[in-house]
Structure 1
Amino acid sequence: MHPLRVIGLTATAEDIYLALVQRGPAPPAGLASTLRVTPDAVRAAADELAGLGLLEPDGERLVARPPRAALDALAEIRAKELGTLRDSADELARFWRDHHAEGPGYIEIVRTEAARDALARRVQDEAVYQVRALSIGPTGRLAAPAQVAPGCLEALARGVSYSVVYGAQVLRDPLAREAIQTCVNLGERARVFPNVALNLMICDDRFAVVTAPARDHQRRHYIAVQRSALLDGLVGVFESYWQMAVPLPISHESMDDAGASPTDDARQLLTYLSGGLTDESIARELGVSERTVARRIARLQEVLGAQTRFQLGVQASRRGWL
């Protein structure tokens, strides 16, 4: 529980307030000793709390004040500031459009690396209820190794729903598979489709971030799309991929290979197939020959009545095998 840090107070200020509420009034020196901080840190934190009306001195001691009235007043101030900020954003956006005629106001092209990173992080930090994404993974010869997006685990932990369609090429990368499994284990719904055309992240229904493939990772531009018909169209693009894609497994429950449920080896084989790995790669992962892989795939296709490998993935998904 960090009720005061989220409104901008330091960890020391929060610790002091909670200690005073739990244990009653205390002198600054006693708080410094209890919390193992310096007297200067206690004084600075006490000033923070006093400024919000959460603390007052009583002789040689510091006393916590009830939080409701003080924080309600702060909430009212912040609400007014937020309204002013939105008005300023609208005014500056109009000013920008008046002097930059390269495109509509609901599109912003982000060119610098720092701005790209900040925009990608915004999706994770600002999401309230859902993030929907298409992922072809890092592109270009200078692309960074695949990893969990900064802020994603924190968003999952606070209950944000993630639905992601991965291109098959992403799952050929062991680091990418590990990152994906980490997110899936925390609740992400993940699917795979053979050919995902672009990287796309949609933050709630408020804005989207689009990145097209590029040969040189350093020259990629991110495109931020605000509420508009274009944003609605991007949501539709995601939903189309989602309907066609095959779910990735959440775990590796034990199953048998006769009709109702596959063996562990069969399930692992289906996972690699859904990721688009070649027979050679699958054979290497499973420690068997390519001929054995082909024979097992043929057997699964026979059991599920699938004519192609992609149909095999779809049928396996429908039966709950993936």
Structure 2
Amino acid sequence: MHPLRAIGLTATAEDVYLALVQRDPTTPAALAGILRVPLDAVVEAARELTELGLVEPDDEGLVACPPRTALDALAEVRAKELGALRDSADELARFWRDHHAEGPGYIEIVRTDEAGEALVRRVQDEATHQVRALSIGPSGRLAAPPTVAPGCLEALARGVAYSVVYGTQVLRDPIGREAIQTCVNLGERARVFPDVALNLKICDDRFAVVAAPARDHQRRHHIAVQRSALLDGLIGVFESYWQMAVPLPAGDEPMDDVGAAPTDDARQLLTYLSGGLTDEFIARELGVSERTVARRIARLQEVLGAQTRFQLGVQASRRGWL
């Protein structure tokens, strides 16, 4: 369980904070020795933590601050980012309606499966630097199970950086999880967000391929977007999702079955949370420490793709866990 990595901090930053929580004020040099990492890595981690208000300097070194205030403030920022994401989606939709009828040169609509697959393959084959993607997986009742996109493994092998935000529905499919794990093992950075709205692949900063979900897979159209204000907007949409999404485990940490039913303890914990009970009360009722309660809550947030406890309750309710 990695509560700080789940909100985008580095592993070193998380280790530094946890070490400081258990110690008196400690110098960066001493922390570097304790954690067996380079001093400059500790200094950079301390900068990350200080910016979030989780660490502050002391006459004798660095000292950990209580996490609740700092992370509640971060949750507010992320909530505003989500609002900005929705506003961007509305603005892009208006932009699309204003320009689509005239058939601008920077947009190409592909109406056959074969042409759409060829367009997606171009992303993998032509990328020289990075591929950024949003993935809800195949859509429609006739859609095939999710698999590794053709050309993706070859692109990873030649050093193309992949950053992908997956919708939780992809992770509910064992075949989908296996495909994702294959890519993560080869270096893909993967995150999960509960409500990814469309399939999107961005090839470097040169062009993007968009495929909106459809009930009938045979009717799904792919849209290629070349360099334009619209492409810039799509890149911004991806970055907003990336900031709010939860990191998936690294290659040596197998993914859990996010579609599995909760344990009795997890269900009881969610019930207590929905009732607004404190961590202290929950810990006493479950017979565990408050730190264990916090870890379990953070893990449930990671599994359900929730950034806040409120979102955790919403996602648990949607799945019928409450």
Q: TM-score, normalised by structure 1?
A: 0.54
| Cα pair 1:301 1:309 within 8 Å, conserved | no
For 2:166, the equivalent position in structure 1 comes to: 166
Name the CA distance, whole Å, in 2 between partners of 1:209 and 1:244. 22
2:294 maps to which of 279, 285, 303: 303
The alignment partner of 1:162 has SS state of strand
Name the CA distance, whole Å, in 2 between partners of 1:152 and 1:134. 14
Matched, 1:291 2:264: yes
Aligned CA distance change for structure 1 residues 233 and 302 (closer, same or farther; 3 Å): same
For 1:223, the equivalent position in structure 2 comes to: 223
Unaligned runs of 5+ in 1: 1-99, 254-266, 284-289, 316-322
The alignment partner of 1:133 has SS state of strand
The alignment partner of 1:225 has SS state of strand
For 1:44, the equivalent position in structure 2 comes to: none
CA drift at 1:113: 1.7
Kindly provide the amino acid, as one letter, of the partner of residue 267 in structure 2: A
For 1:131, the equivalent position in structure 2 comes to: 131
| Cα pair 1:301 1:307 within 8 Å, conserved | no
Matched, 1:240 2:213: no
Q: What do residues 29-60 of structure 1 show as CA deviations (whole Å, max 9, x unaligned)? A: xxxxxxxxxxxxxxxxxxxxxxxxxxxxxxxx
Query: Counterparts in 2 of 1:1-322, with a 5 A limit?
Result: 102-252=102-252, 271-272=256-257, 275=258, 277=259, 281-282=260-261, 290-295=263-268, 302-304=293-295, 306=297, 309-310=300-301, 314=307
CA RMSD of aligned residues (A): 2.9
| Cα pair 2:133 2:201 within 8 Å, conserved | yes
CA drift at 1:112: 1.5
| Cα pair 2:194 2:306 within 8 Å, conserved | no
The alignment partner of 1:224 has SS state of strand
Aligned CA distance change for structure 1 residues 196 and 301 (closer, same or farther; 3 Å): farther
| Cα pair 1:136 1:166 within 8 Å, conserved | yes
| Cα pair 1:282 1:293 within 8 Å, conserved | no
Q: What do residues 94-145 of structure 1 show as CA deviations (whole Å, max 9, x unaligned)? A: xxxxxx9741110000011211111010000000010000000000000011
Name the CA distance, whole Å, in 2 between partners of 1:151 and 1:160. 11
Q: What do residues 244-273 of structure 1 show as CA deviations (whole Å, max 9, x unaligned)? A: 0000001345xxxxxxxxxxxxx96xx44x
Name the CA distance, whole Å, in 2 between partners of 1:145 and 1:251. 22
Instruction: Indicate the structure (1 or 2) with the bigger Cα radius of gyration.
Output: 1
Aligned CA distance change for structure 1 residues 301 and 105 (closer, same or farther; 3 Å): farther
Unaligned runs of 5+ in 2: 1-99, 274-282, 284-290, 309-322
Kindly provide the amino acid, as one letter, of the partner of residue 223 in structure 1: I
| Cα pair 2:207 2:224 within 8 Å, conserved | yes
CA drift at 1:282: 3.9
Kindly provide the amino acid, as one letter, of the partner of residue 294 in structure 1: R
The alignment partner of 2:140 has SS state of coil
CA drift at 1:305: 8.8
Structure scoring higher RCO (CA < 8 A, sep ≥ 6) equals: 2
Name the CA distance, whole Å, in 2 between partners of 1:158 and 1:225. 25
Name the CA distance, whole Å, in 2 between partners of 1:172 and 1:313. 16
Kindly provide the amino acid, as one letter, of the partner of residue 264 in structure 2: R
| Cα pair 1:210 1:224 within 8 Å, conserved | yes
Aligned pairs, number: 190
The alignment partner of 1:120 has SS state of helix
The alignment partner of 2:166 has SS state of strand
For 2:29, the equivalent position in structure 1 comes to: none
CA drift at 1:175: 0.2
Kindly provide the amino acid, as one letter, of the partner of residue 109 in structure 2: I
Name the CA distance, whole Å, in 2 between partners of 1:114 and 1:146. 17
Kindly provide the amino acid, as one letter, of the partner of residue 161 in structure 2: S
Name the CA distance, whole Å, in 1 between partners of 2:292 and 2:237. 30
CA drift at 1:295: 5.0
Flag as ranges the 4+ runs of structure 1 deviating above 6 A. Answer: 296-301
Aligned CA distance change for structure 1 residues 295 and 218 (closer, same or farther; 3 Å): same
Name the CA distance, whole Å, in 1 between partners of 2:114 and 2:294. 51
